[in-house]
Amino acid sequence: MKKCILRKVIAVLVTAALLCGVAPLSIFADDGITRVYTALELRQAIANGDDTIAVMGAINLDDQGEGKEIEPFHITEDTTIFLNAQIEMQSNLEHSDEYTGYDPIFLVEGAQLIIDKEENCYGSLEYYGFGSPIELVGSETAQTSVVIYNGGVNAGFSYDYLLGCTAEPRSAINVKNENGYDVDVSIYGGDFSCYTLSTMDADGPIITGSNYTTTVKGGVFKRDVSDIVDEGYVAIPNYDNYEVMPVIDVKESSFSSMLDEEGRFIVKRYEPDENELDMMFYAMDMLYNEGDPEIFIHFYWSSYDAENKTVYASVTKEPWGEPEETCLLELSFVYDEAVKTEIDKIVDKIPQGKYNEEWDEYEPYYFGISDLALINYWQTWYEGYDPMWDEVIVNDNINNLILYSDEFKQLVGYKNFSVMVGAGDGGPFFSAALGDGEFSYGDTVYAAKLLGARADSIFYVPEDTADDKLAEVLQARIDEYIGQGAVTVVEKGPVLDALLLWEYEGIGYEEPFEEWKAGLDLSQYDVAAGAEVEGLTNDSHYYSVTINEIEHIFVILKDDSKVHQPEYLNIDMATEVSVSTKDASVPLDTLIAVSAPDAETQTKLLDKLNAGAGESFDISLHSSSLGGKVTKLENGSFEVKLPISEELKGMELSVWYLDENDVAVEHPADFEKAPGFAVFTTNHFSVYTLAAPKAGKGDTNKDGRVDICDLVTLDGVMSDPAVWNYDLHDLNGDYTIDAKDLEEMRKILLA
């Protein structure tokens, strides 16, 4: 009867609202949900026996009175409440120690209370009182229970610790069990942004009382709830929270293809010490969640056990998304010890940065980039659209900046290490990168160290350059490096104007720039300090070039020692194969990769070349700035050096490759320019083979030639049948190595 009367009242209200034109949209919803906006409406809906209620407006139950109890919402019939807005209670009552009326928000007795949320809605229970926000009383007539879905809709059940409420533990749910009747607590689901249950007391329990059962299958908690989660679920520590989720066998999960034979998760990096764990955590999260991998992985690093090398992890559809499969991973760190030793030696050479008194620690050492290396760096910049920020952004490749520094490359011996440095900084005349730089060789990380790189927007000209010829002389230098007409140097004006414009745009003044500038006392500006460029004066001008439709500004200084045209050089650490070029189109961050064909392919190559011995090198170049391989030069050439192995030394060698038609093509090679190497030039990369021709009759030492050395070799083996090789040494075919074979060798030599 109560519901019928309520519907008639609502019908009258709807009619009145239509006439006034102010009807809320939710009134028209015919989904069986009663939507309430105030505490009075919620209390009335519960009293009416409405079984599904949505809290749409924030409800504040603050009580500032003296000795007055807050009446809870008393649930005696099965009720579902969608918390789409906050219900908050702040109890400031001063009670004696004997006081037991703990002012819950919901008092459930002989009924089921379900707390949930509607799709795309957010709500919470915020409790600051002397007891628990939910209190359950057992009943003889019906089961008393509470069910919390979807993380309790940010149900941050807590009490005000500032009031000194520490006489006894407070909990999110209190079970009053004086009558001995059992109650049931069930918690399902949850998401990373919500707390299912929490109290601000670090030692307080989630649930107090007795004679209750729990079903915990998901949720985010402020404390460890391992003792109450269901079988097959685990409470995983995740920084300040514990996330409850189902855990499956790693061998039956999407991780299975990433395991070694013993079922351990393969990590291609060195095993860090305790001081490097944070660095590893960040790096691995980025490694498995950048780009477009087959699966994304979320590691719960707070659960990492360094002694046993285990960590919980989940598979997600997108980076840091909702977990689909969760497993306990045992990590297996896989790397080459010899490579690690070599890289550690190099890392130890990196200088210590200066001490920063404000930070109370050392800054990273910054490797410098300037002059024409800037042109090379700027060539790979481009503009792109970022939908997240709804704006055009410039990709400045700051992560790869250190690989443009010749100072850094000299320190590492021009070896092909990939070094990524994450954080960036900048000003009108510099760009900087700093952070825990990770040294990788191939696809494996071998070391990390705090370091930085700084690109100062400074170009240099000879010291005898006239002041009015700075742009002209620099233009000639750039034309020589990158080609005439590719880049035009433009004089922009005083450096002070660039500094003021940087400040003006950064702060976002509303008044026009010229009006703002007119109100400044420009005599107080020091352009050298503002631009962070030593050698500038207040009369100095700045310039610009436009590359890929992006304008870059810079200054020009005179310094003979810093006039330098960069050349690309990279050496493979394992094989010593090197590639170099003066062609400016090759980004200076390009790294060489060298591999060897398998044995079957190598044999086929040697057969194709009619070679008796040889070694093949599959060479490729990859630039992170370009996001791909450097395969061919249109106008320039690469110089390549292939090391000659001990097995091939002394042989008559040549360099070959198979063209697109599978035809063997010989590359002229210089074997004198760099002792121990075959040096040749090419404009593209593929598999190159250093080969010796098959041994002919009389080539007893298998060096590809027949000469007096073969006669000496034959004479040396005559007396030792144990080393006779009838294919090589039995020149007359009588299956005996003797003077007759020596005579046959003399005839071959004379011929």
Q: Is the pLDDT of residue 60 over 80?
A: yes
User: Is residue 702 a part of any domain in this protein?
Assistant: no
* Tally of domains within the chain: 7
What's the pLDDT band for 386 if we cut at 50, 70, 90?
low
Same domain, 91 and 164: yes
| Residue given tokens 């070679």 in the structure block | 611
Q: Assign residue 680 the CATH number of its domain.
A: 2.60.220
- C-alpha 234: how far from its chain's center? 27
Last residue within a domain, chosen from 300, 334, 368: 334
Same domain, 377 and 278: no
Same domain, 113 and 219: yes
Same domain, 319 and 345: no
Q: Is the pLDDT of residue 556 over 90?
A: yes
Last residue within a domain, chosen from 200, 226, 246: 246
Same domain, 121 and 185: yes
Q: Is the pLDDT of residue 2 over 90?
A: no
Q: What is the mean pLDDT of residues 580-590?
A: 94
Tokens of 677: 């190497």
User: Is residue 160 a part of any domain in this protein?
Assistant: yes
Same domain, 530 and 464: yes
Cα–Cα dist 461/397, whole Å = 27
Q: Is the pLDDT of residue 655 over 70?
A: yes
Cα–Cα dist 116/54, whole Å = 9
Considering only 327-341, 472-486, 709-723, which range has the smallest mean pLDDT?
A: 709-723
What's the pLDDT band for 159 if we cut at 50, 70, 90?
very low
In eight-state DSSP terms, residue 255 is G
Same domain, 517 and 640: no
pLDDT tens by residue, 400-437 = 899 999 999 999 999 999 888 877 788 899 999 988 88
Last residue within a domain, chosen from 246, 278, 306: 246
Same domain, 64 and 146: yes
Q: Is the pLDDT of residue 10 over 80?
A: no
User: Is residue 356 a part of any domain in this protein?
Assistant: yes
Q: Is the pLDDT of residue 273 over 90?
A: no
pLDDT at residue number 405: 95
**Percentage, residues of the chain above pLDDT 90:** 44
| Residue given tokens 């929490």 in the structure block | 198
Same domain, 286 and 353: no
Cα–Cα dist 585/380, whole Å = 10
Same domain, 463 and 452: no
pLDDT at residue number 662: 83
Phi, psi of 527 (to 5 degrees): -65, -30
User: Is residue 105 a part of any domain in this protein?
Assistant: yes
pLDDT at residue number 423: 77
Cα–Cα dist 131/500, whole Å = 60
Q: Is the pLDDT of residue 744 over 70?
A: yes
User: Is residue 563 a part of any domain in this protein?
Assistant: no
Same domain, 361 and 373: yes
Non-local (6+) Cβ contacts of 248 within 8 A are 325, 326, 327
What is the residue range of 523's domain? 458-557
User: Is residue 106 a part of any domain in this protein?
Assistant: yes
pLDDT tens by residue, 598-648 = 888 888 888 888 777 889 999 999 998 887 788 888 888 999 999 999 988
pLDDT at residue number 168: 52
User: Is residue 698 a part of any domain in this protein?
Assistant: no
Phi, psi of 442 (to 5 degrees): 65, -130
Same domain, 546 and 578: no
Q: What is the mean pLDDT of residues 192-205?
A: 57
Q: Taking the CA atoms of 336, 341, 346 and 350 in sequence, report the sign of the dihedral they define.
A: positive
**Percentage, residues of the chain above pLDDT 70:** 83
pLDDT tens by residue, 284-306 = 887 888 777 888 999 999 999 99
Q: Is the pLDDT of residue 11 over 90?
A: no
User: Is residue 298 a part of any domain in this protein?
Assistant: yes
